[in-house]
């Protein structure tokens, strides 16, 4: 649904005077106090087309994760056979039940956010649009996904789990550019074993529709036929056109990302920007630490100029298997610190011994050779997102390998491997470019 928001919140310390309404604040977006604020005194969205459909809740993280949960059952049914479960008929998935339940949950969440705003004294004025579009995907057919980034991989896993035939087309040799090299290989292999077909070094050139309605994808290497859907997940750009930013002199880069200083202030002092629109770390929790609950709120409304802290931001990819990571990659660590020790493990988890499935787990620790500080922690395998969130506290706190070694493992888990890696897989001697620049 699309709403206008009228903020009646006044910044009590700085301005209680309604006569200063001319320094009105505009806030675009919703996940957090979002994207752009003009002036620190009174926040009021005067235009009536405030869009309420924040990406995280309605089009990104939440619906995506619900669909990941749905699709994981097919793997779990397969796993259960080795543990003695038998099914008289093949479990069948009902897409419409999933959509109805997912949409109900999104409505519920939207209601909660509306209430939060209402209780904070915000007037919601309904503008235009819809909360949800039908978003129907015929899951029984053959789908092409173009792109090798995290969103492409997540949807490949979802659709594969829901029994579509999935083909992923990527321009490069490997998926997930910028991620840890071993994980790029590992996740590609694991997903291939689950039946997803990767077409590497292939660039799409055209899509043709046949008389029977099916789609063909022409790439630099050939033409692939009979797709019911072709999905592009090739990246996003900040949607900053026609906001009037150029007119007032807000500087943007060539992709349309708004340039901000360390305090999130744009080149026009009364205008601030947070979240994806600045195109730095495009994640919901990062938008939150920048915006409403974080740095910007303190700077503008508590008289405490605050920079968001981007050190050791953990993140996950909800591919199947999922990936969790925090801190530096090996390449970044060498650049920053020179000499590093790398610990890796690649093993078959306990569950796979009976399930008989080819599931494995990969883990990696990157340690500064000089200080023994853990600089990076990376994992691909079941539960890695949940597990890395916990370890992120240790990495953020600057704990050392000795602290990890002194921590007692929980047995039997995959996680215990992170506190029992005794011998480095390799020791690397490099020359740092600028020690500690990334702040770890």
Residues recognised as catalytic = 411
Is 337 known as a binding-site position? no
Please tell me whether residue 309 adopts helix, strand or coil conformation.
Answer: coil
Q: Are 429 and 339 in contact (CB under 8 A)?
A: yes
Is 430 known as a binding-site position? no
Q: Which is nearer to ligand FAD, 271 or 368 (CB)?
A: 271
Q: Of the ranges 70-78, 95-103, 188-196, 274-282, which one interacts with ligand FAD (CB under 6 A)?
A: 274-282
Interaction between residue 117 and ligand FAD (CB under 6 A): no
Q: Which is nearer to ligand FAD, 231 or 377 (CB)?
A: 231
Distances (CA, A) of 403 to 313, 365, 372, 418: 20, 13, 9, 11
Give me the torsion for CA of 172, 173, 177, 178, rounded to 10°.
-130
DSSP 91-111: ----HHHHHHHHHHHHHHHHH
Interaction between residue 3 and ligand FAD (CB under 6 A): no
- Kindly state the number of chain residues that form the binding site for ligand FAD, as judged by CB under 6 A: 27
Please tell me whether residue 124 adopts helix, strand or coil conformation.
Answer: strand
Compute the distance between CA of residue 274 and CA of residue 238 in angstroms, rounded to an integer.
11
Beta partners for residue 343, in sequence order:
365
Is 150 known as a binding-site position? yes
Min dist CB 361 to ligand FAD, Å, is 21
Interaction between residue 239 and ligand FAD (CB under 6 A): yes
Give me the torsion for CA of 170, 176, 178, 183, rounded to 10°.
-130
- DSSP annotation of 58 reads I
Min dist CB 281 to ligand FAD, Å, is 8
Residue nearest to ligand FAD (CB): 275
Interaction between residue 54 and ligand FAD (CB under 6 A): yes
Is the alpha carbon torsion for 371, 376, 381, 382 positive or negative?
Answer: positive
For the segment 182-221, give every residue that binds ligand FAD (CB under 6 A). none
Interaction between residue 127 and ligand FAD (CB under 6 A): no
Interaction between residue 102 and ligand FAD (CB under 6 A): no
Angle CA(51)–CA(52)–CA(54) in degrees, nearest 5?
Answer: 105
Interaction between residue 151 and ligand FAD (CB under 6 A): yes
Min dist CB 56 to ligand FAD, Å, is 4
Interaction between residue 28 and ligand FAD (CB under 6 A): yes
Please tell me whether residue 178 adopts helix, strand or coil conformation.
Answer: coil
**Chain positions contacting ligand FAD, by CB under 6 A:** 28-32, 34-35, 50-51, 53-56, 60-61, 64, 151, 239, 243, 275-277, 282-285, 287
Q: Which residues are annotated as a binding site for NAD(+)?
A: 147-154, 235
Residues annotated within a binding site for FAD: 65, 129, 276
């Amino acid at each position: 649904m699309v709403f206008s928001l009228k903020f009646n919140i006044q910044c009590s310390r700085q301005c209680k005077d309604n006569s200063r309404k001319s320094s009105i604040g505009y806030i675009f977006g919703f996940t957090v106090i979002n994207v752009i604020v003009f002036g620190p005194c009174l926040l009021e969205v005067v235009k009536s087309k405030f869009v309420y459909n924040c990406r995280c809740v309605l089009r990104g993280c939440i619906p995506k994760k619900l669909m990941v949960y749905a699709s994981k059952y097919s793997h779990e049914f397969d796993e259960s056979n080795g543990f003695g479960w038998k099914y008289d008929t093949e479990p069948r998935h009902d897409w419409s039940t999933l959509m109805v339940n997912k949409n109900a949950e999104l409505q519920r969440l939207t209601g909660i956010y509306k209430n939060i705003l209402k209780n904070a004294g915000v007037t919601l004025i309904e503008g235009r649009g819809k909360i949800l579009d039908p978003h129907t995907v015929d899951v029984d057919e053959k789908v092409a996904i173009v792109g090798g980034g995290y969103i492409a991989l997540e949807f490949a896993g979802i659709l594969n789990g829901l029994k579509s035939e999935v083909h992923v087309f990527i321009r490069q040799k490997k998926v997930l550019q910028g991620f840890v090299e071993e994980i790029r290989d590992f996740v590609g292999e694991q997903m291939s074993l689950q039946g997803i077909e990767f077409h590497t070094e292939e660039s799409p050139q055209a899509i043709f529709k046949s008389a029977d309605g099916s789609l063909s994808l022409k790439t630099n290497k050939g033409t692939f036929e009979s797709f019911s859907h072709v999905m592009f997940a090739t990246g996003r750009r900040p949607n900053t056109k026609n906001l009037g930013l150029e007119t007032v002199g807000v500087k943007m880069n060539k992709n349309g990302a708004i340039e901000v200083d360390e305090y999130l202030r744009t080149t026009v002092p009364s205008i601030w920007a947070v979240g994806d629109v600045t195109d730095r770390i495009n994640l919901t929790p990062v938008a939150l630490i920048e915006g409403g609950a974080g740095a910007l709120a303190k700077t503008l409304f508590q008289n405490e100029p605050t920079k968001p802290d981007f050190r050791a931001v953990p993140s996950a990819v909800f591919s199947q298997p999922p990936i969790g990571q925090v801190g530096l990659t090996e390449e970044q660590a060498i650049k920053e610190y020179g000499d590093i020790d790398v610990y890796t493990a690649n093993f078959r988890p306990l569950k796979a011994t009976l399930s008989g499935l080819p599931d494995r787990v990969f883990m990696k620790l990157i340690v500064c050779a000089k200080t023994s500080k853990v600089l990076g922690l990376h994992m691909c395998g079941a539960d890695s997102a949940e597990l890395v969130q916990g370890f992120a506290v240790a990495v953020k706190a600057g704990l050392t390998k000795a602290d990890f070694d002194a921590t007692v493992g929980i047995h039997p888990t995959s996680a215990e491997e992170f506190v029992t890696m005794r011998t480095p897989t390799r020791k690397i001697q490099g020359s740092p470019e600028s020690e500690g620049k990334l702040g770890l």
